[in-house]
């Protein structure tokens, strides 16, 4: 019977938190979407369900999240964790707020915490403001995100815009007085009618305090950083054998697929170009919506088999180029065309013998896993914080799925060179 049920709003976010839970002592299995009603999980402490609900209509995000919650409760989960990006990717309408409200209502709870901080990757919260390294969120590369541009850094404002209740803050000085003080502050805020509690955090130690203080909450929300403390707190009170890493990457041909246009992914693509064969996608041909282009690209990948590093197929572009593409073809049309292309390409690559997929971008990762019909994943070794190798539970197929801004500039090559079986 599982203890913790995690509902993640995209696939890379799911592998991100699954990695931190596994690294810090919990046995974990990850599912792509909600499993069938008659599915059951045994001998696991945490179950992570990845949805594709970050930027879909709020009603759909709520419906899918409630379905995930229902299935997790059937598996015996006692606590629940709504996982979103450490950059709080969302719009004025949601989907973080509406999903949180729906989960609280379904569980009969009146308060939860919001903790997107992930200090190891430069995401910190101070006085309720979210920072990306030394920049406010609204001044970072997320300001011009093509799907969820983040133009405000104040988490309290962002939450109240999307939700139905009041937000409050537990600042850093109060947090560092210890978990007992935080518990008292939470109770005081509840008496004042505060439904959503933002917690400052600028170090991993701050996240550990948060985890202990919120241990009696049935629902917590945040990025993957809080999971470090949740897993350690659980493992300390449930000592036992650490789960085996059954997600070690398989041998076999690989490919790099990049659909993210984030600042870091642009740097990673630029770094990888001199290292390996690469081809940039033509948006006009993706919009043709036929199989010919996917077949041509698959044949190109096959022709690069002798390369020491996997060939790269990318739609990643600099902000200026992206703006021109969106003006010419439309933002939604161009992004959907790229997703449709990857959905056609990936099965062809798998049929052609590709066994290792390195994928950049949350949306792209979701498309890839769906196209491969992957249901369950074992969590393997961590490549960069929040990015593990994962392996399908039913066949020899490995994936490295990264959020757009995660990883170092040499991530694509390092994932292959340092983790060769």
HEC secondary structure over the chain: CCCEEEEECCHHHHHHHHHHHHHCCCCEEEEECCCCCCCCCCCCCEEEEECCCCCCCHHHHHHHHHHHHHHHHHCCCCEEEEECCCCCCCECCECHHHHHHHHHHHHCCCCEEEECCEHHHCEEEECCEEEECCEEHHHCHHHHCCCCCCCCCEHHHHHHHHCCCEEEEECHHHHCCCHHHHHHHHHHHHHCCEEEEEECECCHHHHHHHHHHCCCCCEEEECCHHHHHHHHHHHHHCCCCCCCCCCCCCCCCEEEEECCCCHHHHHHHHHHCCCCCEEECCHHHHCCCCHHHHHHHHHHHHHCCCCCCCCEEECCCCHHHHHHHHHHHCHHHHHHHHHHHHHHHHHHHHHCCCCEEEEECHHHHHHHHHHCCCCEEEEEEEEECCEEEEEECCCCCEEEEECCCCCCCCHHHHHHHCCCC
**What pLDDT, on a 0 to 100 scale, did the predictor assign at position 241?**
52
Question: What would the mean pLDDT of 71-87 be, rounded to a whole number?
Answer: 96
pLDDT tens track for 293-331:
999 999 999 999 999 999 999 997 777 777 777 777 777
pLDDT tens track for 382-394:
999 889 999 998 8
Q: CATH code for 254-417?
A: 3.40.980.20
pLDDT of 400 higher than 80: yes
Question: What would the mean pLDDT of 6-15 be, rounded to a whole number?
Answer: 92
Lowest mean pLDDT among 69-73, 228-232, 323-327, 368-372: 323-327
> CA-to-CA distance for 259 and 256, rounded, in angstroms?
10
pLDDT interval class at 218 (50, 70, 90): very high
pLDDT of 200 higher than 90: yes
**What pLDDT, on a 0 to 100 scale, did the predictor assign at position 421?**
59
Distances (CA, A) of 217 to 110, 205, 287, 328: 10, 20, 47, 48
Question: What would the mean pLDDT of 367-377 be, rounded to a whole number?
Answer: 92
pLDDT interval class at 242 (50, 70, 90): low
Output the six-digit token pair for 323: 């703006």
The upper half-sphere exposure of residue 85, i.e. CA atoms within 13 Å in the direction of its Cβ, equals 28
pLDDT interval class at 363 (50, 70, 90): confident
Lowest mean pLDDT among 60-69, 280-289, 393-402: 280-289
**What pLDDT, on a 0 to 100 scale, did the predictor assign at position 336?**
86
pLDDT of 271 higher than 90: yes
Distances (CA, A) of 388 to 35, 90, 279, 379: 22, 25, 25, 7
Give this prediction's pTM.
0.80
Count CB neighbours of 334 within 10 A: 21
Residues in the chain: 421
Count CB neighbours of 376 within 10 A: 17
pLDDT of 280 higher than 90: yes
**What pLDDT, on a 0 to 100 scale, did the predictor assign at position 245?**
63
Question: What would the mean pLDDT of 274-301 be, rounded to a whole number?
Answer: 92
> CA-to-CA distance for 54 and 72, rounded, in angstroms?
20
**What pLDDT, on a 0 to 100 scale, did the predictor assign at position 300?**
98
Q: CATH code for 4-237?
A: 3.40.50.10840
pLDDT tens track for 92-148:
889 999 999 999 999 999 999 999 999 999 999 999 999 999 999 999 988 888 778
Gap between the terminal Cα atoms of the chain: 32
Contact 108, 215 (CB under 8 A): no
Identical fold between 4-237 and 254-417: no
> CA-to-CA distance for 398 and 358, rounded, in angstroms?
9
> CA-to-CA distance for 232 and 195, rounded, in angstroms?
26
pLDDT of 399 higher than 90: yes
Closest-CA residue to 212 (of 239, 243, 237, 240): 237
Question: What would the mean pLDDT of 330-357 be, rounded to a whole number?
Answer: 92
Q: Where are the domains of the chain?
A: 4-237, 254-417
**What pLDDT, on a 0 to 100 scale, did the predictor assign at position 278?**
98
Closest-CA residue to 258 (of 392, 147, 363): 363
**What pLDDT, on a 0 to 100 scale, did the predictor assign at position 148?**
85
pLDDT of 402 higher than 80: yes
**What pLDDT, on a 0 to 100 scale, did the predictor assign at position 326?**
76
**What pLDDT, on a 0 to 100 scale, did the predictor assign at position 263?**
87
Residue found under tokens 């990857």: 342
> CA-to-CA distance for 297 and 416, rounded, in angstroms?
21
Paired sense of beta strands 129-132 and 135-136, if any: antiparallel
Question: What would the mean pLDDT of 237-258 be, rounded to a whole number?
Answer: 80
Give the orientation angle of helix 204-213 with respect to helix 225-237, to 10 degrees: 60
């Amino acid at each position: 019977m599982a203890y913790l049920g995690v509902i993640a709003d995209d696939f890379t976010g799911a592998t991100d938190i699954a990695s931190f839970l596994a690294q810090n002592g919990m046995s974990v299995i990850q599912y792509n979407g909600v499993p069938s009603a008659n599915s059951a999980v045994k001998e696991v402490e945490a179950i992570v369900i990845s949805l594709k609900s970050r930027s879909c209509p709020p009603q759909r995000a709520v419906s899918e999240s409630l379905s995930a919650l229902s299935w997790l409760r059937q598996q015996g989960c006692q606590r629940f964790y709504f996982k979103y990006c450490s950059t709080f990717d969302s719009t004025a309408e949601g989907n973080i707020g509406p999903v949180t409200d729906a989960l609280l209502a379904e569980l009969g709870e009146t308060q939860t915490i919001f903790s997107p901080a992930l200090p190891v990757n430069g995401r910190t919260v101070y006085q309720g403001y979210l920072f990306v390294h030394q920049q406010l969120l609204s001044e970072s590369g997320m300001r011009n995100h093509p799907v969820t541009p983040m133009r405000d850094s104040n988490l309290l404002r962002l939450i109240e815009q999307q939700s139905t209740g009041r937000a409050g803050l537990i600042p850093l000085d109060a947090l560092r007085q210890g978990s007992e003080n935080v518990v008292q502050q939470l109770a005081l805020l509840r008496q004042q009618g505060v439904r959503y509690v933002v917690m400052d955090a600028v170090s991993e130690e701050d996240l550990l305090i948060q985890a202990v203080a919120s241990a009696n909450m049935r629902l917590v929300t945040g990025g993957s950083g809080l999971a470090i403390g949740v897993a350690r707190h659980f493992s300390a009170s449930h000592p036992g054998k650490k789960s085996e890493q059954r997600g070690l990457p398989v041998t076999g041909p690989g490919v790099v697929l990049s659909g993210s246009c984030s600042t870091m992914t642009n740097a990673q693509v630029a770094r990888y170009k001199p290292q390996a064969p690469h081809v940039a996608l033509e948006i006009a041909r993706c919009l043709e919506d036929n199989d010919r282009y996917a077949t041509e690209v698959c044949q190109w990948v096959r022709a690069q088999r002798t390369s020491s590093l996997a060939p790269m197929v990318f739609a990643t572009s600099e902000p200026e180029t992206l703006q021109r593409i969106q003006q010419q073809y439309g933002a939604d049309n161009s992004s959907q065309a790229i997703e449709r292309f990857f959905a056609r390409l990936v099965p062809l690559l798998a049929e052609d013998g590709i066994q290792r997929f390195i994928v950049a971008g949350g949306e792209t990762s979701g498309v890839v896993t769906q196209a491969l019909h992957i249901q369950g994943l074992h969590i393997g070794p961590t490549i960069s914080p929040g990015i593990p190798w994962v392996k399908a539970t039913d066949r020899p197929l490995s994936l490295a799925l990264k959020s757009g801004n995660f990883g170092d500039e040499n991530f694509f090559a390092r994932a292959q060179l340092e983790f060769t079986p």
